[in-house]
Structure formats: C-alpha cells, structure tokens
Amino acid sequence: MEYRKIIHIDMDAFYASIEQRDNPELRGKPVAVGNPSKRGIVATASYEARKFGIHSAMSSQKAMQLCPQLIFIPSRMEVYKSVSREIREIFHRYTDLIEPLSLDEAFLDVTENKMGMELATDIAKAIKKNIREELGLIASAGVSYNKFLAKIASDYRKPDGLYVIHPDKAPEFIAGLPIEAFWGIGKVTAHKMHSLGIHTGEDLRKCSEEFLHRNFGKNGIVYHDFAHGNDPRDVEAVRVRKSVGCETTFDKDIETPMALIIELYHITTELTGRLQKADFKGRTLTLKIKFADFTIRNHSLTVEYNLTTLPRILPLAKQLLRETDLQGKSVRLMGLSVSTPSSPPPDKKPTQLSFDF
C-alpha cells in the first residue's frame, strides 16, 4: 500500500503565547487575549488559564469568575499575522505544499520535500525546533498518512506534542477514539450518534455507509471514510475561499424587530465591503442569530445570481430575518455570510506515493 506523508502543525495557545513571549512579566501567569467587558469574549487563553477551565469563545465574565486573577490582554492582530508569516517561511524550507487553516495551524505534505529527508517525523521535529529557537514559541505536530489522522495526532499530546499515527496502527487508534474527537463531529451530531448507540470509532466503523448517509446525509459518507482510516483530500497549496462573512456582538441584547433591521443594514454594508475587497462572488446568503441564552439559529437561501451589492443582499437578508422564528427572545449576536462560489474548483484526485516514517 502506498501513502502520503502529512504533517499538521498547530501552535500552542498562539495569541497568548506571543503576548507572554513579548512581555516576560506575563510568563507563568493566567492570560487571556480578548476584551474583559461584560460582552467580551476570550479569543485565546494561556495554558495557565486553561487549568481553570477557561477556553476560547468563552464569555469574559465567565472566565473571570473561574479565575479572578486572570490577566486580559487586548488583541494585536497585526502582530499575530506577522508571526504567522514567519512560521510559514519556516514551513517553506521543507515544502511548498502548505495548506493554512488559520493563522496558527496548517497542513504540510512532505512526501517529497526540499531537504530530501526520508522521515516525516524528523521533519516535524525540525520544524518544531526551528519555531522554538527562532520565534520563541511552542508548536505541536501530528504526523500520519492523511489529513484527518494528522489533525487528530497534533491534538493528542498538546502542548509541545509530537504524535505519529502509522498506517499499521491506525485501525486500533481510530477504534478507541470517542466520536467527539472525530473531525467535523460537534455536540449536536455527537448527541445524535449517542442516541444511535455510536460512542467510539469502533462503533462508527460497524455502521454501514448507507446507514450513516441515511442519518447524517453526505457527512455520513465522510464519517464512514474516517472510521476506516480513509481521507482522500490532498493538501491544497492554494486554498479557494468558500465564503465571506461578518458578525457583530451587540453591546446590549436587542429585543425589538426594528432595532434588528437597523443592525442588519449595518452588517450588510460591512459584508458588501468585504465581498468587494475579497473579489468574492457567491449565491448563498446565510443569516446567523445568537440569542441571549447563547443558542444559535442559522437560516440560508440560494439564488441564481451573484450576491455582491447592497441592493441585492439587503432584501434577502430582511427576508431571512422575517422567516427566522425569534420566539420573543433577545438577540445577542447577528451575522451574515455569502457562500456557494460561482465557479467552484474541480475535484482533485489524490496522489499516492510510497510511505515510510
């Protein structure tokens, strides 16, 4: 059997680690990057803060309840972007097949690499060492024969981890995984799987593709592949943007429809600006509503024309808002996004080469 050599690099507590690196007084202390205001959200928490149960996307108020000594640092996004570029330059020493997922993580295909190194594990070790010595930051790495397993491997021994899932060991490893650990399975899907008696990778592997498709749609086929250790997706060196969106968390919960329409106008205006800047053309508009109780509702519609201007998007956004059952709840957050690109990229067939860690 022939396989590829895939590495997933994930920076540990990226934003918070940069702040601790740049300010020695913060080292060893619980730090959160974000806004400590009543409506604030934690963007990233240091590992010292995570010991208290603090995590990204948590409300700042809840974080301070868990850890009264928590130190909040304002976000410096331009600094984080600059450091991300420096990390990318390190990746390019080894391969140009790099697929960034965000500022702090990426996939690398090192099957054929610039250094002529035989073992993907050695490349992962070298990259971690480069990042530590040159940038003063810590990364975790996962190594395997596809993206699904490399991603799971990078999370397996964080922080400062390096874990390898060899093809011979993959079936046993996958069998023991809780289904919550599978890429793409969130709380709602996990709850449904539990109701169907699916709790582990072994349980999932026993399900037929037809059964999973019937219960989970096209994602069921993906889950079936993952359960059998299959993931044919290539590392895409140039990622094609699939959506553009924006959202706003309000200073105070909004309770009246008229106030929501006013905010919807402002969000739509921001969205059209982002669409023009990204030169993105799509045909699906999605409205996201988060209520005061943190429940979320998404509502979408697809049209036959490109959604690029305010006159085209705003009437549809209002329609989605009218069709959303607000149930008399107060609204905490509202967002809009455009997806379904006009010219989707063609599917690529996976390339396979010999495999040896």
Q: Is residue 24 part of a domain?
A: yes
Check whether residue 182 and residue 158 sit in a common domain. no
Expressed in percent and rounded to 5, the helix, strand and coil fractions of the chain are 40, 20, 40
Check whether residue 257 and residue 187 sit in a common domain. no
Check whether residue 7 and residue 125 sit in a common domain. yes
pLDDT tens-place string over residues 199-246: 999 999 999 999 999 999 999 999 999 999 999 999 988 767 789 999
Report, as residue numbers or ranges, the catalytic residues.
105
CATH number of the domain encompassing residue 126: 3.30.70.270
**The domain containing residue 183 runs over which residues?**
170-227
CATH number of the domain encompassing residue 199: 1.10.150.20
**Helix (H) or strand (E) run with residue 114 in it:** none
pLDDT tens-place string over residues 26-50: 999 999 999 898 888 999 999 999 9
Is the pLDDT assigned to residue 344 strictly greater than 90?
Answer: no
Q: Is residue 236 part of a domain?
A: no
pLDDT of res. 3: 86
Q: How many domains does the chain have?
A: 3
Check whether residue 177 and residue 270 sit in a common domain. no
Is the pLDDT assigned to residue 1 strictly greater than 90?
Answer: no
Is the pLDDT assigned to residue 147 strictly greater than 90?
Answer: yes
Long-range contacts of 78-82 (CB under 8 A, 24+ apart): 79/18, 79/22, 80/14, 80/15, 80/18
Check whether residue 129 and residue 162 sit in a common domain. yes
Quick one: average pLDDT of 183-194?
91
Check whether residue 222 and residue 266 sit in a common domain. no
Check whether residue 22 and residue 161 sit in a common domain. yes
Closest CA to 233 of 114, 149, 124: 149
Q: Is residue 254 part of a domain?
A: yes
Closest CA to 9 of 112, 194, 144: 144
Please say which residue of 166, 190, 213 terminates a domain: 166
CATH number of the domain encompassing residue 247: 3.30.1490.100
* Least confident piece of the model among 54-68, 127-141, 232-246, 248-262: 232-246
Check whether residue 209 and residue 301 sit in a common domain. no
Check whether residue 207 and residue 274 sit in a common domain. no
Q: Is residue 235 part of a domain?
A: no
Q: Report residue 353's pLDDT band, with 50, 70 and 90 as the boundaries.
A: very low
Structure token digits, residue 36:
């400590």
Q: Report residue 352's pLDDT band, with 50, 70 and 90 as the boundaries.
A: very low
**In the chain, what percentage of residues exceed pLDDT 90?**
81
Task: Using alpha carbons, list the distances in angstroms from residue 6 to 14, 100, 322.
Answer: 22, 13, 46
* Distance in angstroms between the alpha carbons of the first and the last residue of the chain: 14
Closest CA to 34 of 249, 295, 186: 249
pLDDT of res. 325: 84
Average pLDDT, the chain: 91
Write down the pTM of the prediction.
0.74
Check whether residue 9 and residue 158 sit in a common domain. yes
Q: Is residue 233 part of a domain?
A: no
Check whether residue 270 and residue 312 sit in a common domain. yes
| Dist. CA 46–CA 18, nearest whole Å | 10
pLDDT of res. 301: 94
346 in Cβ contact with 236 (< 8 Å): no
What are φ and ψ of residue 20, in 5° steps?
-70, -35
Check whether residue 209 and residue 269 sit in a common domain. no
What are φ and ψ of residue 129, in 5° steps?
-65, -45
pLDDT tens-place string over residues 282-327: 999 999 999 988 888 999 999 999 999 999 999 999 999 999 888 7
| Dist. CA 145–CA 263, nearest whole Å | 47
Quick one: average pLDDT of 173-184?
93
Q: Is residue 355 part of a domain?
A: no
| Dist. CA 35–CA 24, nearest whole Å | 21
